[in-house]
Structure 1
Amino acid sequence: MAKLTTLVKRAKKGDSEAFIALIQQYEDVLYKVASRLLTKDEDVADAMQDAILAAYEKLESLQNDAYFNTWICKILINKCHRILNRNKAVFDVVEIENLQDGVHDSTLKMELEDELNVLNNDYKTAIVLYYIVGMNTKEISEFLKEPEGTIKSRLSRAKSILRSNHHKSEDVIGYV
């Protein structure tokens, strides 16, 4: 944590190498988030590029250096939503890693993708932030500026929808 805040402080002072080191630390997480929100590789690349550029330009606005990860993920999600709105695309969550480990049959994986695509954007966003980004409900609450109870409810309802739509494969949904 100390290394992170040190890098953020250095980057805020104009040290571009420190900013690059920060981005390299979170590059995989950013890619995973963008690739689950967007369907096209070009859109994923655009969203990541736009988010990194915006983060670089607005780094001074980050109030708590320890929340760099949350802050840049929020920028990325906003960029992804703009791309989705622009393309009028469907919010596409491919697979949740926690579920992927438990799914060995490609048919089940495809069915799971279909079920996830039935969820509305609020539920999918909560699922992505919780299972892929690894945020807890309090962090998601602060991130989305929604009450924590709302986030817990969305996660619960999303899991319930997945269970009811995919009841024949309870061994897969049991991981959620």
Structure 2
Amino acid sequence: MAPETEQELEVKLAKKGNHEAFINLIRPLELQMYNIAKAILRHDEDCADALQEAILQAYKSLPSLREASFFKTWLFRILINECNRILRKKSNVVPLHNQEEARHVTPSIDVHIDLREAVYRLEEVSRTIVILHYFRDLPLRQIAEMLDLNEGAVKTRLHRARVTLSEWLANHRERKVNL
């Protein structure tokens, strides 16, 4: 049996109710968490909400974490789920001042909107990888570390996402031309 890492010891202490241990687990991950939230949500207010809610959920759910060594992955998954929840909530709201603008969309903006909509239709992990790589310019190695995947898996998901996006966008343009 391999010796426990410092993180694993902190997780065990935090599971027993040690608040300081939980803070020690979160602090070194705050910047990475913010970068993920910013890449998905784009607005600082939404990022702050997502971080706060994810940390609170992690604290409440800590007893359900089975493997202490998976804390970081588990925490990032909670954060990504929270970011996606915020996105779903926001997608149902169209501000009144934007309704008039939406009627007069130029073709270049329309293509940008189509691409963003298509990206947000991707499966969750693929969507996160595309956003982190193309919208935040993060290298594949860093994305793999953040999501606790190997680099080959990230490359494969990115390739599949590009193919899917290409097909969706080609079909969408064909429909517009045929209308």
The TM-score, its normalising length taken from structure 2, stands at 0.61
CA contact (8 A) 1:31 1:48 kept: yes
Determine the structure 2 residue equivalent to 1:173: none
> Structure 1: 5+ residue runs without aligned partners?
90-112, 142-147, 163-176
**Displacement, 1:157?**
3.1
CA contact (8 A) 2:32 2:146 kept: no
**Mapped pair 1:63 → 2:66:** yes
CA distance in 1, matches of 2:149, 2:52: 23
CA distance in 2, matches of 1:4, 1:22: 7
CA distance in 2, matches of 1:54, 1:136: 19
CA distance in 2, matches of 1:47, 1:25: 17
| Cα shift readout 1:124-158 (whole Å, capped 9, x = no counterpart) | 32343955443388x449xxxxxx97x65422234
Aligned pair partner of 1:19 in 22, 26, 42: 22
CA distance in 1, matches of 2:39, 2:23: 24
Aligned pair partner of 1:53 in 49, 52, 56: 56
CA distance in 2, matches of 1:60, 1:75: 14
Q: Between Structure 1 and Structure 2, which shows a larger proportion of helix residues?
A: 2
Determine the structure 2 residue equivalent to 1:83: 86
CA distance in 2, matches of 1:57, 1:125: 25
After TM superposition, what 4+ stretches of structure 1 lie above 6 angstroms from structure 2? none
Structure 2 SS opposite 1:135: helix
**Mapped pair 1:7 → 2:48:** no
CA distance in 2, matches of 1:86, 1:80: 10
Amino acid paired to 1:125: T
CA contact (8 A) 1:29 1:133 kept: no
**Mapped pair 1:33 → 2:43:** no
Structure possessing the higher radius of gyration over alpha carbons: 2
Q: 1:37 to 1:22 in 2, by over 3 A?
A: same
Determine the structure 1 residue equivalent to 2:119: 119
Identity across the alignment (%) = 38
> Structure 2: 5+ residue runs without aligned partners?
93-111, 134-139, 166-179
**Mapped pair 1:154 → 2:157:** yes
Q: Number of paired residues? A: 132
Determine the structure 2 residue equivalent to 1:96: none
Q: 1:13 to 1:67 in 2, by over 3 A?
A: same
Determine the structure 2 residue equivalent to 1:95: none
Structure 1 SS opposite 2:145: coil
CA distance in 2, matches of 1:82, 1:48: 12
CA distance in 2, matches of 1:69, 1:39: 22
The TM-score, its normalising length taken from structure 1, stands at 0.62
